[in-house]
Structure 1
Amino acid sequence: MTATSGLVRLGRRRLGWRQADLGVRIGCSASTVSRLEASRHPADIRLLTAAATAVGLPPILLAAACGITTGADPRPTRVAPHAPPTEEDPMHRRTLLTAAGTAVPASLLLAIDDALAVTPTGTGTVPVDHRLAQARKMWDTGRHTALLAELPGLLGDAHRAARSRTPLDHARLSACYLLATQVLGKIGRYERARLTADRATTYAAVAESPIATAAAARELSIVLRHQDQPAAAHRLPATAPADRLFRISPAGADLYAVGVHWALGDAGAALEAGRHLRPDQFPTPERTSRMHTDLARAWWQYGKPEQTARELLAALRVSPSEVRDRPSIRTIVSSLSSRHLHTPGVRELALALTR
């Protein structure tokens, strides 16, 4: 593949999109996107530019990858007059790059990286059950930044408690990693989410807990799907116990159907599945706002910017982080701002992303 098509592919994967998702945004089929990414020769420049813009590739980087010079001063910019030469840690550099364009501070992601590399020392001052319950409440209310700040300490305390080697403490440790997987997946950090999901699975197996094992398998399958590994994701649920382990309601099933049809590219079926959904059918702000964002994605796929903006505004009012922290939703807002700025609600959405 060319350097440019490779950058498009990297950008798409960073956002957690399938080739079909990118195709919808730039007006072509998944097979066309596949050919674009695999091409060993320069592609249609208009299509390439559209794809690069959709995945957030800066114009100057696109120009450089295409071999286009800009006449800019090639000398490096000095950002501090007496700064000593440094050799930046590649992991930290990647973290800072992937944090750009989201509402999540890079410092929190760096702290998560450190916690996953070296287990933090537990404080032991607050029972793990209490800390986990508080962290779960942060998740339910969409406080992603607060939860990310809490995770290193929570994992440290859970590891400290697991020194008892009792099944219950190992199950709690699995639950902590499970929560980490959920929030990292929510903000589009799938590589980290894969690591935490693997650990949740491992500690659930050590605990010999069917419930923890099934929960870990479910979250891991979600991460694998976002990493373009559908076959592996499909196999995982079959390993879970046959008992009903998750609370489900008719509304929850309908919302799941919305997501399935949207992922398959059938926006009409997604909207039909969700036409009876109401906010009062969901127990937490996280689930309620997820209903609105899933419907917004279906409306966007259907080509209805006004309805898309309406659902995203509803999600913003229930849980602002559901709109601000998710790369895929931020991309829709950016597209609305550039193409449909005068549509009711779009200016408010765009302003919300800058706060």
Structure 2
Amino acid sequence: MQNLHTLCMPRRSGCTFEALPHSRVGGQMAVPTAGGREIGAVIRGARAEARMTQGDLGAKCGYSASTVSRVEAGTIRPAPETLLAIAQALGLPPQRLGVVPVQRRADTSCSPMTPPAASVADGVMQAQQEAPVRRRELLAGMAGTAAAALIPSPAAATPAPASGNDLTATLERALYAPDPSGATSATVVEQHLAAARGDFTAARYGHLGQTLPELIGAAEAGRDAAAGVARERAHSTVARAYVLATELALKHHSDIAWATADRALTAARAGGSPVVIGEAARVLAITMRRSGRPSAAVDLLRRTAADLTDQRGAAPHAVAATLLFTAAYTAACDRRRSDALDLMAAADEAIRQLPAGTPAAPLFTVDATPAQRDLYWIGVHNALGTPDEGVPYTARLTAAAMPTAERRARLGTDTARMWHRLGNPRRTFAALCLVEQAAPEEARRPALRALTADLLYSPAPLPGVREFARRTGAAV
């Protein structure tokens, strides 16, 4: 295991690198050009896209998972040669991690060297390109005006949410040292649970993280004091509290999601409610997918959905449809196109068979509606590498069709990824602005900060993107 000093300093004998801004790597010289927080956001986002854990990335580069966590949080800055190793492990161009590799000069001494012209000229080149592009935009007339109108007004700057490390510590406290409030009656606990769900759907993740330890403590205390039917109901309340905890951990790519998801499903099964079991199985399956077990996740979702369709009532069937959504996306992430398309077709059929008056949101996070189906189609095609096939679904979707701020932010996220993969930075930025407008804390998630950081290097000028990057923590 590498210690902090060896991570942050290049390892070369015969030279002192501490005072130098460059590092030789093989036959090249690496020049750092970006700040630690921006680098960490890009690394975390690329790792999430690659479905690697912090331990996986650390193993590829020779570091511990905790060290990778500190790098992603921006609390330490790796040496340039380490950044090159991380870039190689993630399949990223070194420039994305703020490192410009250039050919080594014939002089191999340890004296400082002048940064390459390319790294200094980036800003100049952008400024030179901006004027003609603006002239072309003026000539475009109403088309240019319409394109600009796609970008919502920027949201007010919001304080940065808790880091992934802070969240993990909070959830660990909820798991292993819960804080009961003293009010443990079923009615009061369910009121607290409803308020917590409101925080999640409104994307108030910071406040949710603060209240979860007390909620989980009160829910478990109420369950322990109950008996008979009341205890089964209390088990379901505990399960849903852990579902929320898992959703929050997944938002922050925290490995503690394994523990919270396991507790959610254990409590759900003890409670016996098919709907709650479906909710818990869904977050466990997402955790499995994130940990590199997509096939097992699809199997779990399929089995649970089949069990739910055997139940009476609209709610279990609606939950089954949402599990099929998640299974389809999971199969797509595993590049199993046929399975993904079949599962989406099954979900579509399940939605059509729902009777009128089906509860709008039987799960905490997903509802079984045509709008959700279209949103999942975009995500499935993004994962399959066919984003062009997701474009028709965007024409049918509006932010108003999404019932919560969290879902509106998801619409912006998936649309941003689609346009980014199609090489349209302007529409990518417009979608990211939708995320910020709907849920500012979502715009600060690691994967979206990485996408924002990538837009900073767009060849076409994007007015407002640097200010957006600063607001969302993608740039300093």
| Residues 312 and 47 of structure 1, relative CA distance in 2, 3 Å threshold | closer
From 306, 330, 335, the counterpart of 2:454:
335
Paired residues for 1:10-21 under 5 Å: 15-18=47-50
| Residues 50 and 199 of structure 1, relative CA distance in 2, 3 Å threshold | closer
| Residues 137 and 70 of structure 1, relative CA distance in 2, 3 Å threshold | farther
Counterpart AA for 2:174:
A
The residue aligned with 2:182 is: 124
1:279 aligns with 2:399: yes
| Residues 54 and 123 of structure 1, relative CA distance in 2, 3 Å threshold | farther
Paired residues for 1:188-227 under 5 Å: 188-189=253-254, 191-227=255-291
CA–CA distance in 2 between the matches of 1:214 and 1:55? 43
* CA offset digits 1:241-294 (Å, max 9, x no partner): 214143311111000111111111111012222221101111111111111111
CA–CA distance in 2 between the matches of 1:310 and 1:204? 40
Q: Please say which of residues 295-304 and 343-352 is displaced more in the overlay.
A: 343-352
1:306 aligns with 2:426: yes
| Residues 307 and 123 of structure 1, relative CA distance in 2, 3 Å threshold | same
* CA offset digits 1:72-94 (Å, max 9, x no partner): 9xxxxxxxxxxxxxxxxxxxxxx
CA–CA distance in 1 between the matches of 2:418 and 2:181? 45
The residue aligned with 1:149 is: 210
CA–CA distance in 2 between the matches of 1:54 and 1:135? 41
Report the secondary structure of 1:120's partner residue. coil
The number of aligned residues is 290
1:252 aligns with 2:313: no
Q: Please say which of residues 151-160 and 244-253 is displaced more in the overlay.
A: 244-253
How far is the alpha carbon of 1:225 from its aligned partner?
Answer: 1.5
CA–CA distance in 2 between the matches of 1:334 and 1:228? 26
Q: RMSD across aligned C-alpha pairs, in angstroms?
A: 3.6
CA–CA distance in 2 between the matches of 1:48 and 1:160? 49
How far is the alpha carbon of 1:157 from its aligned partner?
Answer: 0.7
How far is the alpha carbon of 1:12 from its aligned partner?
Answer: 6.5
CA–CA distance in 2 between the matches of 1:71 and 1:176? 58
The residue aligned with 2:103 is: none
Paired residues for 1:1-355 under 5 Å: 15-18=47-50, 48=88, 51=91, 103-105=161-163, 106-116=165-175, 118-125=176-183, 127-163=188-224, 164-165=226-227, 166-189=231-254, 191-240=255-304, 241-242=308-309, 243-246=316-319, 247-324=367-444, 326-339=445-458, 342-354=461-473
* Higher gyration radius (CA): 2
CA–CA distance in 1 between the matches of 2:281 and 2:440? 29
CA–CA distance in 2 between the matches of 1:45 and 1:19? 18
Counterpart AA for 1:256:
Y
The residue aligned with 2:324 is: none
CA–CA distance in 1 between the matches of 2:232 and 2:196? 21
Provide the identity percentage: 29
Report the secondary structure of 1:338's partner residue. coil
Report the secondary structure of 2:457's partner residue. helix
**Structure 1 residues without counterparts, runs of 5 or longer:** 21-33, 39-43, 60-68, 73-101
